Structure 1
């Protein structure tokens, strides 16, 4: 089992594979997931329960338990760290992108994506993780701001 240490880094990888490349299937859809549990109005559910600035438990459980085969991890050549990443919106559907909810806190998981060549969102990564750009450069990973 491939174990990620940083949940938010895993989300970047999931975003690439599930919503970008579409090689990790099926794609998780929070609204569909909640409708299956009887929640028709996801926004109202979130607001009524004060969950605007959190990762919904259902999404956290799904993505934490999600197995990503090493063969798929080896296909990851680019990652995007952007507030508009689809995976973020599936985790926190009415998140406004104005806090650190999805900030990557560690780059220990870089070994899990051995063919990573490009990390877009380097400026934001450096804000949340000082020294990150040097770590990427030491691994010959180009950081685009």
Structure 2
């Protein structure tokens, strides 16, 4: 199984595989996890009550950190979308407005895990240096 160096990059991959392609299952829902643990099943209320506004809920971080993604699934990724409205971000941080760097990708070292990646939508969020890394690998940076 692949090991990601950049948690936020992994979340973008999870967005594609779990919430768009629906090939990475089961689909994670923070509400379900909280309910299983005996907490409020309303993620927004849970985050508010636990002082987790504009932060990743620890239970979600733990889930996604330990989530294993097969090499076969990773090889199927041809496109990624970086957008503040991604479902994975809502599942991680139910109180988040996209106005800070909470989910910024710091490194593209994990590109080696995606041998067939051809395009990254929303790449303007990466900054010019990281976009140059994409271009150097022949990946379209839209």
In the alignment, the residues of structure 2 paired with residue 10 and residue 42 of structure 1 have an alpha-carbon distance, to the nearest angstrom, of 21
User: What is the SS of the residue equivalent to 2:73?
Assistant: helix
TM-score by length of 1: 0.94
In 2: Cα distance, 1:21 partner to 1:44 partner:
29
What is the alpha-carbon distance in structure 1 between the residues aligned to residue 85 and residue 44 of structure 2?
Answer: 17
Partner residue in 2 for 1:120: 121
* Counterpart in the other structure of 2:15: 15
Q: 1:143 — aligned with what?
A: 141
**RMSD over aligned Cα atoms:** 0.9
**Structure 1 residue 43, shift from structure 2 partner:** 1.9
Aligned to 1:29: 29
Using the TM superposition, give the Cα deviation of residue 2 of structure 1 relative to its aligned residue in structure 2, in angstroms.
1.1
**Deviation of 1:95 (Å):** 1.1
> What's the CA shift for 1:53?
1.0
**Shift of residue 44 of structure 1?**
2.1
Q: Deviations over 1:34-63 (max 9, x none)?
A: 011122233222112210111111111111
Rounded Cα–Cα distance in structure 2 between residues aligned with 1:49 and 1:39 = 11
Deviations 1:65-90 (A, max 9, x none): 11100000000000011100100110
Structure 2 runs not aligned, ≥5 long: none
Give the Cα separation in 2 of the matches to 1:39 and 1:76.
35
Q: Distance in 2 between matches of 1:44 and 1:19?
A: 23
Match of 1:92 in 2: 93
Counterpart in 2 of 1:132?
130
| Partner residue in 2 for 1:68 | 69
Which SS does the other structure have where 1:44 is aligned? helix
Q: Deviations over 1:87-122 (max 9, x none)?
A: 011000121111100000000000000100000111
Give how far 1:19 is off.
0.3
Extract unaligned runs of 5+ from structure 1.
none
2:2/2:71 contact within 8 Å kept: yes
